[in-house]
């Protein structure tokens, strides 16, 4: 039975105006952080270092230390925003025949056995289990979820360690 996402949200999100509006809105927090950093730069460099500190040597030390930390922060922030998200490797995705087998199982025990066999045969490094002891499986991506992997409803894909998210 299709859920709310399939019946209502997916068609709505597929519309170009909605899609591009959401893409623009997603950048608001990034712009907000950059604005705060710019304000902090102005306040520290100009208001404090140039207008308050009179000793040239002390001012140079303050400016050097601040710019080193600023460069480290900006590089880290850039990497966080623009690095591609970690996705499960192809070995975690089920082959077509197993997808078909799981789709035609009568009870959850059969699908659990199919997934357990798939994990053992491919020697997948999976230790985390679902609440019922079965392998964690993403119905949308049709893959066995590696440890600390979660499906992101915004990206529409499984994200490793959920360590990065859409900006």
Task: Judge whether 140 and 154 are in contact, CB under 8 Å.
Answer: no
Q: How far apart are CA 162 and CA 152, in angstroms?
A: 8
- List the catalytic residue out of 8, 12, 38, 166: 166
Q: Give the C-alpha separation, 125 to 92, whole Å.
A: 10
| Angle (nearest 5°) at CA 72 between 28 and 87 | 60
DSSP letter, residue 51: T
CA-angle at 62, arms to 61 and 65, nearest 5°: 80
Catalytic: 49? no
Residue 82 structure tokens: 């623009």
Closest CA to 160 of 61, 141, 42: 141
Q: What number of residues does the chain have?
A: 167
Distance in angstroms (rounded) separating the CA atoms of residues 136 and 145: 5
Residues tagged active-site: 166
């Amino acid at each position: 039975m299709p859920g709310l996402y399939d019946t209502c949200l997916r068609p709505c999100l597929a519309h170009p105006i909605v899609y591009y509006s959401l893409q623009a809105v997603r950048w608001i927090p990034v712009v907000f952080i950059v604005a705060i950093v710019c304000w902090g730069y102005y306040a520290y460099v100009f208001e404090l270092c140039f207008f308050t500190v009179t000793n040239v040597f002390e001012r140079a030390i303050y400016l050097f230390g601040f710019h080193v930390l600023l460069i480290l922060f900006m590089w880290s922030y850039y990497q966080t925003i623009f690095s591609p998200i970690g996705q499960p490797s192809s070995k975690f995705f089920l082959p077509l025949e197993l997808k078909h087998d799981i789709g035609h199982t009568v009870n959850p025990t059969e699908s659990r056995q199919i997934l357990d066999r798939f994990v053992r045969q491919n020697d997948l490094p999976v230790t985390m289990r679902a609440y019922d002891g079965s392998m964690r499986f993403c119905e949308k991506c049709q893959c066995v979820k590696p440890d600390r992997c979660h499906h992101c409803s915004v990206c529409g894909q499984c994200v490793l360690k959920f360590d990065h998210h859409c900006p």
